[in-house]
Structure 1
Amino acid sequence: MVTSLDDKKRLMIAEKLADLKAFQNLIISNEQRLLQECSDNDVRERLQNMLSDDQKNLGIIETVIVQYGVQSEPDSTTQKLIDQYDQMMKSDQINFSHKLVQHEVIKHGQAMSGIVIHKAAQKVGADIEVAIGPLNTVNFENRAHQEQLKGLLELVLVREMTGQDPDQGLWGRVQDAIAAFSGVAGSVMTQTTDKEDMNIQTLIRLDHNKVNTIFTEIGATKDPQKLQEYFGQLYKDLLAHAQAEEELVYPNVRSFYGDDNTQELFDEQAQMKRMLDEIKSIDPAANADEFRSRVKDLMDVVGDHVRQEESTMFAAIDNNCSDEQKEKMASDFKAAKSKIQKEMAAK
């Protein structure tokens, strides 16, 4: 009998994503404190821009965690480190430049953590790589911020020591960082949004892409353990996605999408849930052919459902909702999905 299972690698990535979110919150609070202590207008402007980026990136990290579908808490060691950094940044005994040095160290660690998570995802599963795709935007911006912070440190420390600006100047290094960031990350940035939350169509499409990838992974293996692992993730992802849509999306679109069309979406998802439970009762080690055949039937049903949503429902949303309404719906959908995932994990 198939169970919804997480292997150790997936759980470890979930914990690392939780660490990433915890450090992102620390970075935001650090920048808010640094702004309070900084009197230099040039430095304040650059820190304010970083803060805006990092607040947006927190939303992206939260989206990635929900897309990933495995909830976790930060590692206990991570929380201790964050508490230590937090106390240091609050201290009146440490001057601004030393705090800026420590902030650059934290930003470096955040950039490396994001890159390592991406590399690990490439080794663990294609569906994971799809889920964390938006994290690339955060990783590239963190790398650019590192270079900008080095420029800030150069300016602040030389002024502290000599009362004069360094010969190279702040903006040489800062502008180099921005240029490098724009060149490397431009193609990634175009795949997401400059808002804190993506719109509702983008979030739903991300779910669809991940599910399609899991179906491909199931079709490419005959290993019973892998079949169990992939179906366990598929089961949870589809149920959380369906419940969040039924709570947040379908009630919002019914007035302009129509009762019949909306009810059809509800009915298709009810069929999908029945099929998921039926497949869950099949042991892939004993009945691999039946298991894979039933998954293929499920894939066909889900495919029809996805095509309807991405064509007619998405068009109806575009024609009847403002950008703000679509982003609000996305934010509510993400929060609902996160709550559902946590409830599922607690069962």
Structure 2
Amino acid sequence: MASTGKARDGAADALALLRSEHEQVRLLFAHYERLRGLEDAEETMAELVDDLCDALIVHTMIEEELFYPSLRAALGDDALFDDAELEHAGARELISQLEVMYPGDEHFDATLAVLFEEIEHHIAQEEGEMFALARSSNLDLVELGHRLALRRAQLDDDMSAPPGSFDALQPHDGRRMPPRAPD
């Protein structure tokens, strides 16, 4: 039978872990919104968006690598997960656009707003329909949560590692990518 919450050893089950990550993303969006319009906040806003994009990239990866395949196998319902993966692809496209923009750029706030709307819709669908299906499945959600946490730690380590020799050749100042040349 599926379990929810925390195991005896304190490890979060998969749904609690994912819900916590959803909340982290919402908090980053909210923090950005509080900074909008403040003088000299662009650097902090850019860092927040970088953190947000990193969190979304790692989150979508652990869902696509572990959570969705586990639920697919348990439920046999491909349509729900195909839709979720398409939503992830849309988020990655918006993230790639944000990576070459800065707060104050012409479409930055609009792009971020669209990303937020898409993520909110995605979270609502996941926490509603998908989490309910997971709870009713025979998945060991505590064990899956452990696997998700391990993979997240791996990805966090990879993202915080210093750039390799090839990466060091790429010209950039800080985290943001250089702007694309106009078409």
For Structure 1 versus Structure 2, the TM-score category normalised by the shorter chain is: 0.7 to 0.9
CA distance in 1, matches of 2:91, 2:59: 12
Identity of aligned residues (%): 20
**C-alpha contact (below 8 Å) 2:6/2:13 kept by paired residues:** no
The offset of 1:283, in angstroms, is 1.9
Residue 216 (structure 1) aligned to one of 30, 43, 48: 30
Residue by residue over 1:272-322, the C-alpha shift from the partner in whole angstroms, topping out at 9 and shown as x without a partner, is: 0110010111122x51x6212211110000011101110111011110135
Q: 1:257 to 1:309 in 2, by over 3 A?
A: farther
Instruction: State the one-letter code of the partner of 2:21.
Output: D
Deviation at 1:196, TM superposition (A): 3.0
Aligned-pair CA distance for 1:193 = 5.5
Q: Which residue of 1 aligns with 2:63?
A: 245
Give 1:259's aligned residue: 78
Task: Report the Cα distance in structure 1 between the residues aligned to 2:86 and 2:128, rounded to whole angstroms.
Answer: 18
Aligned length: 153
Q: Any conservation in 2 of the 1:249–1:333 contact (CA below 8 Å)?
A: yes
Larger CA Rg, structure 1 vs 2: 1
Higher helix share: 1
Q: Contact 2:53–2:95 at 8 Å: present in 1 too?
A: yes
User: Hey, what's the Cα distance between the residues in 1 that align with 2:107 and 2:35?
Assistant: 14
Which residues of 2 match residues 1-347 of structure 1 at below 5 A? 194-222=8-36, 223-255=41-73, 256=75, 258-284=77-103, 286-287=104-105, 290-322=107-139, 325-346=140-161, 347=163
> Gaps (5+ residues) in structure 2?
164-183
Distance 2:47 2:53 in 1: 10
Deviation at 1:211, TM superposition (A): 0.2
CA-to-partner distance for each residue in 1:136-177, whole Å, 9 max, x for gaps?
Answer: xxxxxxxxxxxxxxxxxxxxxxxxxxxxxxxxxxxxxxxxxx
| SS in structure 1 at match of 2:12 | coil
- For residues 113 and 6 of structure 2, the distance between their equivalents in structure 1, rounded to whole angstroms, comes to 31
Structure 1: gaps spanning 5 or more residues: 1-190
With the length of structure 1 as denominator, give the TM-score of the two structures. 0.42
Distance 2:54 2:108 in 1: 17
